[in-house]
Amino acid sequence: MADPPDPAMVSPALGAGAGADVDVDVYLALGANLGDRRRQIDDATARLDAAGVAIAARSPIYETDAVSDEPQPPYLNAVVRATTALPPEALLALCLDIERALGRVRPPGRDKAPRTLDLDVLLYGARVIDTPALTVPHPAMLARAFVRVPLADVAAPGLRHPITGDPLDRSPPSPAVRRFRDSGGA
Ligand code: AMP
* pLDDT of 113 above 90: no
Give the domain 20-178 fold: Alpha-Beta Plaits (3.30.70)
The number of beta carbons lying within 10 Å of the beta carbon of residue 130 is 8
pLDDT for the residue 20: 57
Beta-sheet pairing, 53-58 with 118-124: unpaired
Tens-place pLDDT, residues 54-64: 999 999 999 99
Cα-Cα-Cα-Cα torsion 57, 63, 69, 73, nearest 10 degrees, comes to 120
pLDDT for the residue 121: 98
pLDDT for the residue 184: 44
Beta bridge partner(s), residue 123: 27
Among 102, 106, 138, name the best residue to mutate to test ligand 1's pocket (greatest count of ligand atoms within 8 A of Cβ). 138
- Of 123, 126, 129, the C-alpha closest to 142 is 123
Task: Please give the distance, rounded to the nearest whole angstrom, from the Cα atom of residue 37 to the centre of ligand 1.
Answer: 20
Phi, psi of 38 (to 5 degrees): -65, -45
User: pLDDT confidence of 107, banded at 50, 70, 90?
Assistant: confident
Rounded to two decimals, what is the model's pTM?
Answer: 0.87
pLDDT for the residue 95: 98
Looking at the annotation, which residues are catalytic? 104, 115, 118, 120
More confident residue, 16 or 145: 145
More confident residue, 162 or 67: 162
More confident residue, 76 or 172: 76
